[in-house]
Structures are given as structure tokens and as C-alpha cells.
């Protein structure tokens, strides 16, 4: 595939190179796994005629599932890490932890050379924690306000 524009060609090469890196493959898995939980919730909240009570209940189910994933992060991540390695193998990528040095300045040091442990601690668990925190902040703290709106729905007024 020959590109005339060197800038476009260079950007395409850099994008292809980035997609073959361990951190990209593992990050893609983490995002797809966690956002897989929230996909139906997102569709529900964006629909034109959603029931507020059902959406709040749906948020509760997604939240409890995310908390369950977080509590079982070791077994959950290790069971799916095999899939990540297979995906990496299919694109000729080796999953490995970044090299460790004595004094880490630009990223957290997890003190492990095992790729599974490193990516669980550096990517999977922090991303799950972020999603759980956002669900709490966006839906559970203003829950009383949201439940108050259900009183304004005409078919619920008696």
C-alpha cells in the first residue's frame, strides 16, 4: 500500500506500531470488558422513552456487577488474560511488562515482572475503580433527586 503523503504514511505506521504494543492490547481488553457492562445501560439512558425507575434499577445492577468484578479482580483478570495472550499472538505481539528500574519517575512501580500481575494492577483494577467511582457520583449521590422526578410522570400521578 503506497501513500503519496509522507505525513499520512508516517501516522499510519505509528498507529499500526502502537496497536502492536502490549499496553494497547491489554488496555483494549480492559475497556471492552468494562464497557461491555455499561453498553446496555448507555443505550437505555439514551432512548427516547425510558423509564426512570427501570434505569435506576439497571444502574444498580451494573454497579453491583462492576463491584463483583473488582472484588474478584485476580481470578477474573487471570481467566481472561489467556484470551489477551491469544489475541496478542495472532498479531505477533508478546505481552510483557515494561522494564523496571530502581527509581520510577514517570509511571507507578508495581514491583513485578509478571505481565499478568503488572497489567492487572496498572490497568484493569484502576479502570474498574474509575467506572465504579463515576457510577456512584453520577447516579447514587443524586438518586433522591432522580427518584423525585418520577413523581412528575403523568401516569404515576394519582
Q: What angle do CA 73, 77, 82 make, to 5 degrees?
A: 165
Residue 155 banded pLDDT, cuts 50, 70, 90: low
Q: How far is CA 103 from CA 39, 100, 106, in A?
A: 40, 8, 10
For position 117, what pLDDT does the model report?
Answer: 83
- The rounded percent of the chain whose pLDDT value lies above 70 is 72
User: Whole-model pTM above 0.95?
Assistant: no
Angstrom distance (rounded) from CA 2 to CA 95: 30
For residue 102, pLDDT over 60 is answered with yes
Angstrom distance (rounded) from CA 68 to CA 47: 27
CB-count exposure of residue 8 (10 Å: 0-12, 13-18, 19+): exposed
Higher pLDDT, 50 or 123: 123
Tens-digit pLDDT profile for residues 2-21: 556 888 878 887 777 766 67
Angstrom distance (rounded) from CA 135 to CA 152: 24
Amino acid at each position: 500500500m503506497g501513500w503519496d503523503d509522507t505525513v499520512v504514511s508516517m501516522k499510519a505506521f505509528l498507529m499500526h506500531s502502537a496497536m502492536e504494543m502490549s499496553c494497547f492490547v491489554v488496555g483494549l481488553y480492559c475497556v471492552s470488558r468494562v464497557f461491555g457492562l455499561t453498553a446496555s445501560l448507555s443505550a437505555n439512558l439514551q432512548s427516547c422513552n425510558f423509564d426512570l425507575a427501570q434505569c435506576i434499577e439497571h444502574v444498580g445492577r451494573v454497579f453491583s456487577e462492576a463491584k463483583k468484578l473488582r472484588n474478584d479482580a485476580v481470578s477474573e483478570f487471570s481467566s481472561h488474560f489467556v484470551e489477551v495472550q491469544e489475541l496478542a499472538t495472532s498479531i505477533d505481539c508478546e505481552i510483557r511488562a515494561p522494564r523496571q528500574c530502581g527509581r520510577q519517575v514517570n509511571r507507578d512501580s508495581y514491583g513485578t515482572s509478571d505481565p499478568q500481575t503488572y497489567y492487572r494492577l496498572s490497568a484493569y483494577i484502576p479502570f474498574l475503580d474509575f467506572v465504579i467511582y463515576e457510577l456512584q457520583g453520577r447516579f447514587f449521590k443524586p438518586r433522591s433527586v432522580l427518584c423525585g422526578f418520577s413523581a412528575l410522570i403523568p401516569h404515576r400521578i394519582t
